Structure 1
Amino acid sequence: MKISTGVPLPAEGVQCVASPCVVVDLDGTLICGNSLHMLVRFMAAQLRRRRGFWRLLRIGGLLGLRRLRLISHTGMKHPVHRMAAESMSEADMENFVSVLGAALNRKLLERLDGYRRRGYRILLASAAPDLYLPRLTALAGFDGFIATPLPASAGEAYTETRGEHKRDLCLDYAAREGWTIAVVATDHPDDLPLLLLPGISRLLVSPAPGLPEELRRRGLDFEII
């Protein structure tokens, strides 16, 4: 029986070789800073200019509650992302991505360019929302992204793209594309499940305290850039 997959099948006897892939974290790795903090500053400036004082007060209230530890980090950032989705135009989003672009880690980009020239694919993977990651992926010239889907409505449960869940999503994405994860670039201990993948190279970008020590304790090689 002939099965149509929409993808040309390799000639008989030809072995398919998976493309190596670099998984890159966003905050503190690809960009020098935190995209949520940058989004809040961008939105606050926009709302002041447009006299959006109610949303501005809501953002201030959420930040205050978080500072007092009365709500979780997720409980603070989810409403902020929803307000961004509701209040920012396409032009606003393009302008914000330009702000992120100005904060890209140039040293890391040079390393990634070297990987690209050797045939590697680049996958941006972050707990940030899919609100602005598609545009940032295009701006950076990467091959794909994984983000936290923004729920359709406020209060709807969702799972952030971090930890083991992020690792599993990256492995699934790579398998679908015919890639194999060869390098992981990150700054954060949340990505330890990815860093523990066997046979990979590990790039630590201005790593958080304790992460290099944890990898040394496990007998794993890494490079700090």
Structure 2
Amino acid sequence: MAARSTAPEKRPGFFAQIRTLYTFTQKTFGWLPFLLAGILVLGTGAGVGIGFLIPPVAVWTVILWGVTGLMAGILGSPMIMTRLSTIAMYRQIDGMPGAAGHVMSTALGRKWQASDMPVGVNPKTQEAVYRAIGRGGVVIVGEGARGRLTRLVNDERSKAQRVAQGVPVTVLYVGHGEDEVPISKLAPTIKKLPKKIDRATMAAVIKRIDSVSQSVTSLPIPKGIDPQRVRAQRPR
């Protein structure tokens, strides 16, 4: 029997990533081709203009500056697409079950510990509660109807306050209502929380809360989000 290949999966190349990024972003912003074309034209025009303004004016210097402007436009286009793809992603996942967990597990960085799995969930209504722990303390995020989230949020807050006395506990609700945080601003809102604990305390809090947390892996977790479908791959 032939041995199975153990070669690592080949990652898509740079141009394949650019194509994926473009396709993903254009689905939300149909005017993307015109924007990119405008960037190239403006970059080239700016380069030609500089060529005429800097003496001595010569054909080859104008051409050189024009090419430089074109290259600047080409380099700037992926940056614009990356920014727009992030906006497109948030628009697609807004209101979907699991969106908060997806954002918290991918956008908070290393200074926060969070998971895409909820720490509390209502299997019937798909309301869910997520938790992040960082230098800003404990953050509890509710996703769903606030009325039905009350018990889940209070249980998780009580647990955090019981095992991490003196550590600030912040409760956020994802949504577009009053005192709610849009999904696109969830990660920035958490990151802006003032630092209240040091690294050692943060590690101790994580250990204490994990030790008393009840596993919810056996519950039917909302599966409204497929990160492979909503998150465009960024060029490296």
Give the TM interval when normalised to the shorter protein. Answer: under 0.3
Structure with the largest fraction of helix: 2
Q: TM-score, normalised by structure 1?
A: 0.26
- Higher gyration radius (CA): 2
